[in-house]
Chains A and B, each alone.
Chain A
Amino acid sequence: MNAQFKKGVLELIVLLSVTKRDMYGYELVSEVSRVVDVNEGTIYPLLKRLTNERYFETYLRESTEGPPRKYYHLTAAGILYKDALRKEWQEFSSRVNGFIKESERE
């Protein structure tokens, strides 16, 4: 898959993933990998950036399987950003799909 496509949609997917429930890094990487095939290392920087922009909050939760894990929680600003990003994606994708159909029709 084109890396630029993946890079553009990766942020939306991450935000949508955390919307359902709080996740820790490895879990979130696994969830995103189901949708797009990206380098797992690149997700952590994205998480860090979204956290720095106050779209995510992090907290530690004890784990029975190992050391404490850091969970990511979508903040109110994150929710708004997620909704705006989803709307933009829908409009963008519909226009692109329409353009593709028109191109195929011709």
Chain B
Amino acid sequence: MSREEFLQSLEARLQVLNEKERDDILSEYRQHISLRMESGLSEEEAIRDFGDFEELVSEILDAYNVNPEFGRAPQGEDRKKENAAKAAAAGAWRLVSRAGKGLGRMVTALWGLMVRMVLGVFAGAGRFGKWMMSGAAGLFSGKRHRNRAGDSGFAGERPADGSLLRERMEETMETPETAALPGAVSIAAGEGLDPAADRTGRNAGIEGAFSAETGNGEPGQTGTGGRTGEGNRKPGLFSRWGRRRRRMDEGEKRRGFFGWLWSGIVGLALFGVRAAGVAFLLIPMGIVDFFGVMFLGCVLVMCLLGYPVWGVTLGTFGGVMSCTALMLLTADILFPGKGREKREKRRRKPAAAVSQGETVPETVSLDGSPAENTGEEETAHEA
């Protein structure tokens, strides 16, 4: 060991002492080594004369009443224990780092899976929504089938030239009972048929077809409720009821009293369903919507005054829109096609007004006199 090494080691071991004391001790040993070297010894020999380094440090610390074990490097068992502890800590740290990396990979994989699931849910929801919308549109659209007499009332093709309607009209015209056939609203000019006076619980299908026939003056054209009969759409639930009634009407002459009874029961049931829907769905939703609109106005005013309620305002607006949409949907379900029929009627009012002076009236009222093209027709059709 050289002099500098000895002095540096000694300084490191005497860190517990005061700096002044430590420097004093080091200067003494430095001087002693120098004098020993001047007497002919080498650095190593002079340092060797100091004896065991650890004992020397212990004696110096003891002179200051300091525990000689202080600052001493662990030896023997202590060093083994310390090395074992260090190895265990290193191993534990490696284990923790590996676990952390594995956990990170797992989290990344789970995150990707969740993202894919969410995207799949949204995509599926979109497709489902489109399917529902298409079904609802087909269910409640005005494009209804024209069924032949005696058909089951489900999908069927409508001849483009309206020959089916002509056949129906001819059938009804050929028998005396057709004069009292309910639902026969209007007849083509010159046919001489009297319309029926009974309008209780009759469907609008055949009525609309007849009125459309005469309204346009040309066979095959319909205008009521957008019933162009383009193709093979399935009829709606309530229109199916109507066709069933129509078949019942057409078969009344065969069934007689029981047909009337059945048709009455069906009509009552339909009326009950609609009444319940209005009482328990539309009216409560209307009330909720009304109060929602009121609340929306209040929070909107608060927002304009500077209160931090924009979130509540947006939520209320969304709720009002949702409730309104739900109400419209419910109304469309309960009263199918009525809104569309009204719109079609309104569109044809100017054209109907032009044709008022013609000899052939567009429509015939229940008592056989020409009827004005007013809203009463709608109610007549929609009864």
Binding site for B on A (CB under 8 A): 25-26, 29, 39-42, 44-46, 48-49, 52, 66-67, 69-70
Contact = CB atoms under 8 A, between A and B. Distances in A.
Contact of A48 (B25, B36, B51, B52): B25
11 contacts: A26-B31, A26-B36, A29-B32, A39-B50, A40-B32, A40-B49, A41-B50, A45-B63, A49-B64, A66-B31, A66-B35
Contacts of A49: 62-64
Interface of B: 21, 24-25, 27-29, 31-32, 34-36, 49-52, 55-56, 59-60, 62-64
A67 B27 CA distance: 10
Q: Which of B28, B49, B56, B60 is most buried by chain A, counting CB atoms within 10 A of its CB?
A: B28
A69 B60 contact: no
Given A25-B31, A26-B32, A41-B56, A48 B64 contact: yes
Contact of A41 (B21, B24, B29, B35): B29
B28 A39 contact: no
B220 to A, nearest CB: 128
* Main SS at interface, chain B: helix
Nearest to B47: A41
B35 A44 contact: no
Contacts of B60: 44-45, 48
Contacts of A45: 56, 59-60, 62-63
The 9 closest A-B pairs by CB, nearest first: A41-B50, A39-B51, A49-B63, A45-B59, A45-B60, A45-B63, A41-B56, A26-B35, A48-B63
A11 B21 CA distance: 21
A42 B31 contact: no
A67 B31 contact: yes
Nearest to B32: A26
Contacts of A69: 31
Nearest to A48: B63
Given A25-B31, A70-B28, A42 B49 contact: no
B62 A44 contact: no
Contact of B59 (A26, A29, A42, A52): A42
A12 B31 CA distance: 24
A69 B60 CA distance: 20
B32 A52 contact: no
Given A26-B31, A40-B32, A40-B49, 18 more contacts: A25-B31, A25-B32, A29-B32, A39-B56, A41-B51, A42-B51, A42-B59, A44-B29, A44-B32, A45-B62, A45-B63, A48-B21, A48-B63, A49-B62, A49-B64, A52-B64, A66-B34, A69-B31
